[in-house]
Amino acid sequence: MAIYTVFGNPIAHSLSPQIHQAFAQQSGVELNYTRSLTSQARFRRAVAEFFRHGGAGANVTVPFKQQAFELVTYVTARAQQAGAVNTLVPLGYGQLLGDNTDGIGLVRDLQRNLGQTLAHRDVVILGAGGAARGIIAPLLEQEPSSLIIANRTEEKAQILVEQFANSKLQACRFYELAIPTGAIVINATSASLAGEKLPVAPTELAHATCAYDMVYGAQPTVFMQQAQQAGVSVMNDGLGMLVEQAGAAFQMWHEGAELDTQKVIQEIRERLV
Ligand code: ATR
């Protein structure tokens, strides 16, 4: 049976095995998808051993996505833009292709599952770390009117703006943030993970019509609660993005697989505790 895994640390609570088993069932494929706990020091060797023993594909999650980017033989254009890899495809002879499906996962969740339009829309990203970097190019591809990156440390947002060099990009600090009316605001900071509130004024948040948190949980995240209190009409956490990025990875390994991701999102949501 084909063996897949996800490398991360921590990894015990990863939902990837359940999601990939659900896709396998939908597409009539038999596979075994495991979780692999590793460390920065052992990551490279763990990946090499997994594929030497016949691994058919792997995902990579926090905190190894940049390290994965550095170790692969080839990268897809979207992984190159993200500077990070979340999907490994063995090419034989010890060679690996690195892809990044996080951005397409977010775009698909916003468009297909939440019915949000990105073209000619103002989009705001909160945060300028690795999670933010991975979604900039896929969002720009959808031709938004503007893409504003707001961050606690302005220099980091500024660096992203310079690297992506697109006239639609702007950087600012949280307290300078002016959210355009009807915007989508995406929380790509790690503040929700720590249960911390974001320093975005409720009067600004109130201008948005969609608030999306890349983090997910059984309960609405702190950012979703902030958005609700500000009166934002559509709020969502990142569970759909997680399932959609997994779907795109599954399709890298099983070309042509047709997946009902909405069904899987619903199933996983029901089991979240
Ligand atoms: P990730 O890979 O999850 O993006 P990261 O690269 O460490 O992690 O980036 C974390 C992001 O969350 C950064 O944008 C960080 O802001 P700084 O660049 O100013 O450090 C942001 N962040 C984390 N905790 C935050 C908080 N409590 N309030 C605001 N921003 C926060």
Its ipTM equals: 0.96
What is the Å distance from ligand 1's center to 127 Cα? 6
Euclidean distance between CA atoms 16 and 5, whole angstroms: 9
pLDDT, residue 192, reads: 84
Q: Whose CA is nearest to atom 12 of ligand 1?
A: 189
What is the Å distance from ligand 1's center to 197 Cα? 12
Q: Above 90 in pLDDT, residue 64?
A: yes
Q: Above 90 in pLDDT, residue 102?
A: yes
Q: Which atom of ligand 1 is nearest to the CA of 153?
A: 19
CATH tag for 105-236 (out of 3.40.50.720, 3.30.428.10, 3.30.2010.10, 3.30.43.10): 3.40.50.720
Q: Whose CA is nearest to atom 26 of ligand 1?
A: 191
Question: Does 131 contact ligand 1 (Cβ within 6 A)?
Answer: yes
CB 186 within 8 A of CB 221: no
pLDDT, mean of residues 177-181? 98
Q: Predicted confidence band at 273 (pLDDT cuts at 50, 70, 90)?
A: confident
Q: Above 90 in pLDDT, residue 128?
A: yes
* DSSP-assigned states of every residue in the chain: -EEEEEEESS-TT--HHHHHHHHHHHHT--EEEEEEE--TTTHHHHHHHHHHTT--EEEE-TT-HHHHHHH-SEE-HHHHHHT---EEEEEETTEEEEE--HHHHHHHIIIIIT----TT-EEEEE--SHHHHHHHHHHHHT--SEEEEEESSHHHHHHHHHHH--TTEEEEEGGG--PPTT-EEEE-SSTTTTTPPP---HHHHTT-SEEEESS--SS--HHHHHHHHHT-SEEE-THHHHHHHHHHHHHHHSTT----HHHHHHHHHHH--
To test the ligand 1 pocket, which listed residue (100, 133, 152) has its Cβ within 8 A of the most ligand atoms? 152
Q: Please provide residue 195's backbone torsions phi and psi, each rounded to the nearest 5 degrees.
A: 70, 25
Q: Above 90 in pLDDT, residue 253?
A: yes
* Residue type at position 192: S
pLDDT, mean of residues 11-39? 97
Catalytic status, residue 65: yes
CB 183 within 8 A of CB 121: yes
> Which of 139, 70, 146 is closest to 106 using CA atoms?
139
pLDDT, residue 112, reads: 97
Question: Does 186 contact ligand 1 (Cβ within 6 A)?
Answer: no
pLDDT, mean of residues 1-6? 97
Euclidean distance between CA atoms 248 and 87, whole angstroms: 9
| 258 labelled ligand-binding | no
Euclidean distance between CA atoms 29 and 224, whole angstroms: 37
pLDDT, mean of residues 74-90? 97
Q: Which atom of ligand 1 is nearest to the CA of 127?
A: 14
Q: Predicted confidence band at 227 (pLDDT cuts at 50, 70, 90)?
A: very high
What is the value of pTM for the model shown?
A: 0.96
The CATH code belonging to domain 2-100+240-271 is 3.40.50.10860
Question: Does 158 contact ligand 1 (Cβ within 6 A)?
Answer: no
List where CATH 3.40.50.10860 sits in the chain: 2-100+240-271
* Residue type at position 225: Q
What is the Å distance from ligand 1's center to 160 Cα? 14
pLDDT, residue 193, reads: 83
pLDDT in tens, 134-168: 999 999 999 999 999 999 999 999 999 999 999 99
List where CATH 3.40.50.720 sits in the chain: 105-236
Question: Does 128 contact ligand 1 (Cβ within 6 A)?
Answer: yes
